[in-house]
Structure 1
Amino acid sequence: MDYDVIVLGAGAAGLMAAATAGQAGARVLLLDHADRPGKKILISGGGRCNFTNTGTEAGCFLSENPHFCKSALARYTQWDFLALIERHRIAWHEKTLGQLFCDGSARQVVAMLVDECSRGAVEIRLGTGIGDIGHGDGLFRVAGATAPRMVVATGGPSIPKMGATGIAYRIAARFGVPVVTPRPALVPFTLGPDAKAFRDISGVSCPVTARVGPTSFDEAALFTHRGLSGPAILQVSSFWKAGDPVVLTLVENAMEMLREARRKAPRSRLRAALSEHLPNRLAEVLADRIGLEQELANSSDAELERVARHLTHLTFHPTGTEGYAKAEVTAGGISTDALSSRTMEAKAVRGLYFIGEAVDVTGWLGGYNFQWAWSSGWAAGSACAAPLTG
């Protein structure tokens, strides 16, 4: 036996698991095929890493078992990670909706995690392919090394240009661990020819309420040359299934707004009224789409109600999403039914753990997925430092 635990994947979850286990006394080997650790961390948050969210709670995560994430999130919280950030004297700031960012660079977070691994005497091997995984006599054999425990922290297939793959699912299949069908999440939508006018105003954004089914988010939407993006759209995309409409509310109290516009500027037309509340290019497209030609003074309440309906229920039927190439995370993954919520260990395979994005736990946009990486990594790392039993 060369090590107590082998961690596969030097991303957020893997670095946290390795550091936690190492500092608790375990001999840890951390492997990654990439040439440097934390590559997704480095590009996150516009290079400043939205490392957690003050509002983190179980309700901010999607999973076939919505209760699974509670244990890990409760035992290693956003405040615990923030304390780690502050111990390393990394300056940070809070943006909207509880999102915490580095003042400087995401490189600081990676350096912090690597330093934490060093404090735990973790051996890090980069540029190392995993290859075939052997298992027998209570030991896992990977890349020429052996250990009684193996932590899979290889993420999901989102952002393949960063080296992301679905290897976690192949490892799960190798050991008979079930997988919930993966899909792109926090991802832009594509729109068809019927929405060409909206694709033609690429770059326009505005605050909206975006809805998919009963789920809604109040943030910005962005019109793109392919369809819809922006925070509100990315949020609802995690709940979207093929065929679902996406409904935007552009003006919350639309009827009151239209009546007020008719009262104040009766000679004006719809485009001018809309431009008071929406970007000009969007107002123009909407006015053309709605087709109310006369002055507002000559528009009845019934006609204004029709306009208001467009403003509160602007409905799109996406043709799909932009896929894993543009997805910030992957929904689905290793079935939580097969894992211990306390340790992340596979119930049927002693010593095998799955953490982070590889697992069927997906957070909202805004630092939640990083917190799941820290919490699940801490849970597995702590478990891997305890004596083997059973």
Structure 2
Amino acid sequence: RNWAEGKTRFLEEMKTKVDIKKQLSAISPEPVRGYVVPFAMGGGTGSSFSSAFIEYIKTNTKEHATIATFGLMPEFGWDPVIFEAAAINIVMNLEYQIKYSDCSILVSNKALRQLAHQHDKKLQKIPSIIDDLPKEHEVGWKDYKGMNLIAANTISMFISSFARETEWDMSNYRTWLATKKPKFAIPWIMPVSPSESQWGKDMLTSTKNNTMEDILNKIGKKEDALLFDIDENDIRNNGSSRDSCCVLVKVKGEFDIKEREAIKRIIKDKFNIEESRMIFVKIPIMDGEQASIAVLVNTKAIGPKILEIAKEAEESWDGYKDEYGRWGLSTEEFKQGLMDVVHQFS
């Protein structure tokens, strides 16, 4: 549960037990241009390891790699995290994303859990790597299958956006978010999950299953969702005139003026984001692939959710400072992290 302990131990292992430079060079003989790092943020392990890793990449290597982070916020009262300690962990993890991540995306477990329950029948039909786990490893994993598939569907869209490097790469994401507050985007995805018939005959032979028309029909049927504990009314009412979004589009056929205007109208109506603040990225699609759109929404409206956690972290610090201090996190460093997070989300 201790972010400072996890971070210290992970860095120590990288220095003494693992030749991390050798491992990174084994991934790619060429310098690695970027990393996508997904992690859970409430406990000590996922958030502390990811913090140590992204700090290491930015400060200890010669690679000029850019980093995208997908941080998964816990659902208090459901996920097995201790509220006060988790709040401290989240603040420090956000601080490290502010310092070292070029594109930060937040997803909430509460939204994933509700959506997995809502789409349970469809999700159960989709094959997953965990279907083949031996019985003794099944505990807990099966419960998260649907949530993982929804999150993976979103992450795959983000990664697909690099399929045409001449048109789009991480530097564009970095530029988009560089001057923004809060500098953290939340995904609006449609459809919520992959199609169970992806790569099947009906996908390959249908002329409508992977088009813009198909996507618009899915939005009409409420097959879209925000993957954060917030709704469109919050964004419309509590967002800022500087809210923006990056629209990742994977559809077959035309995506020209008519199609752009259709999705612009939906985004404007849903989130009250100005057209001039929308960026569109067209992603190549294969014949059997499902059409998808992922909108990364950068909105001030998520601020109150984060500031509530920051307040809890501040009020809890005195009770935990000795435990965190033993592993190298001083009160001064925590207070600085807290100030940076509050400034970013205010």
Determine which structure has the larger helix proportion and give its number: 2
Q: More strand by proportion, 1 or 2?
A: 1
Larger radius of gyration: 1
* Fold agreement, TM-score > 0.5: no
TM-score by length of 2: 0.25
TM-score, structure 1 length as denominator? 0.23
